[in-house]
Amino acid sequence: MSVTDEGILKVNEEPYGNPLLSIDNDEHHSQRLESKKKGEIYPNNVIIDNAPQGFETYFKGSGHMNFTDLPLFAPTLANMLGTGDIDPAA
């Protein structure tokens, strides 16, 4: 996806050449489903839909920073940036 000089959102619908796996946090998973329901363009949906094989999964209770080590080493900063309810030590 890109924005033209006129400020119009342009979706590149060229097929992605490799199989893809999208691993989402709770919020992105909800946004993906809501966008599909409303027929709205959501970049991750466009990419997965244009891949020869596209798979998606999510971790319930996760936030963006739960996919990093930050919650283990700097939990206060990680919470400010977005973590979910899952235990980072588990």
Per-residue pLDDT of the chain (90 residues; tens, 9 = 90+): 666 777 776 777 777 788 999 999 999 999 999 999 999 988 888 888 888 899 999 999 999 899 899 999 999 999 999 999 988 887
- For 81, residues 6+ apart whose C-beta sits below 8 A from its C-beta are 64, 65, 70
pLDDT of residue 33: 94
pLDDT of residue 32: 92
Task: Give pTM, 2 decimals.
Answer: 0.70
pLDDT of residue 2: 67
Q: Which residues of 46-67 are buried (b: 16+ CB within 10 A; e: fewer)?
A: bbbebbeebebebeeebbbbbe
